[in-house]
Amino acid sequence: SDNLTDWTDHGVIITQNKVPWVRPDSYSMWAPDCIERNGRYYFYFPSAPADTVKYGRGFAIGVAVAEKPEGPYIPEPTPILNVHGIDPNVFIDKDGQAYLYWSAGHIYGAKLKDNMKELDSEVKILGDLPTKGLKEGPFVFEREGVYYMTYPHVANKTEQLEYAIS
pLDDT digits (tens, 9 = 90+) for 14-35: 999 999 999 988 888 989 999 9
Alpha helices in the chain (DSSP H): 52-55
Separation CA 156–CA 11 (nearest Å): 40
Separation CA 118–CA 132 (nearest Å): 30
CA angle 140, 136, 138 (to 5 degrees): 5
Q: Dump pLDDT digits (tens) for 30-79.
A: 899 999 999 999 999 999 999 999 998 899 999 999 999 999 999 999 99
CA separation (Å) from 136 to 37, 87, 90, 103? 25, 7, 14, 5
Model pTM above 0.85 = yes
Q: Which of 94, 59, 96 is CA-nearest to residue 80?
A: 59
Q: Which of 96, 91, 76, 74 is CA-nearest to residue 126?
A: 91
Q: Report the amino acid identity of residue 7.
A: W
Separation CA 64–CA 41 (nearest Å): 8
Average pLDDT of every residue of the chain: 92
**Phi, psi (rounded to 5 degrees) for 52:** -75, -20
Q: Which of 66, 51, 136 is CA-nearest to residue 102?
A: 136
Q: Which of 19, 118, 121 is CA-nearest to residue 73?
A: 19
pLDDT value for 134: 67
At residue 162, does pLDDT exceed 90? no
pLDDT value for 2: 87
Classify burial at 127, counting beta carbons within 10 Å of its beta carbon; exposed 0-12, middle 13-18, buried 19 or more: exposed
* Count of helix runs (H) and strand runs (E) in the chain: 1, 11
Q: Dump pLDDT digits (tens) for 80-89.
A: 999 999 999 9
